[in-house]
Amino acid sequence: MNRLAVAAGDKLDAGVPFYGPAPDPSEASKVKAPLLIHDAGLDERVNRTSFPWVEALRAAGKPVKFYLYDGVNHAFHNDTSAERYNKDAAELAWKRTLAFFKQHLA
């Protein structure tokens, strides 16, 4: 989703990436849509790219909200994986996602 936000430019109205590797921070200026980013606290691989990405978005004045869900793994929202799924984090992320879309797509 982060890469889509870069590629889509002003053709995207809002985006919500869930724990995916982020683009190079140098591409932050290409993002036009507000983003809500959900990351898993235990996902060091994704967070290595995500933290600089969020910092670059903010430095570029882009509308971004970032949530880090402590104590959960990558794919915490995937209820088909009992090993990774975290019901509380997934429900909170979904609630935030719906509110974000309601705010930006209404």
Tell me the CATH number at 76: 3.40.50.1820
Q: How far apart are CA 42 and CA 72, in angstroms?
A: 6
Q: Is 38 an annotated catalytic residue?
A: no
- 88 sits in which H/E element: helix 87-105
Q: Is 74 an annotated catalytic residue?
A: yes
Annotated active-site residue in 13, 43, 88, 104: 43
Structural domain of residue 43, as residue ranges? 2-105
User: Two tokens at 56?
Assistant: 């670059």
Annotated active-site residue in 74, 77, 79, 104: 74
Q: How many domains does the chain divide into?
A: 1
Residues in the chain predicted with pLDDT less than 50, given as ranges, are none
pLDDT tens for residues 16-36? 999 889 999 999 999 999 999
pTM across the whole model: 0.94
The number of angstroms, rounded, from the C-alpha of 5 to the middle of its chain's C-alpha atoms is 11
pLDDT of amino acid 51: 97
Neighbours of 1 (CB within 10 A): 14
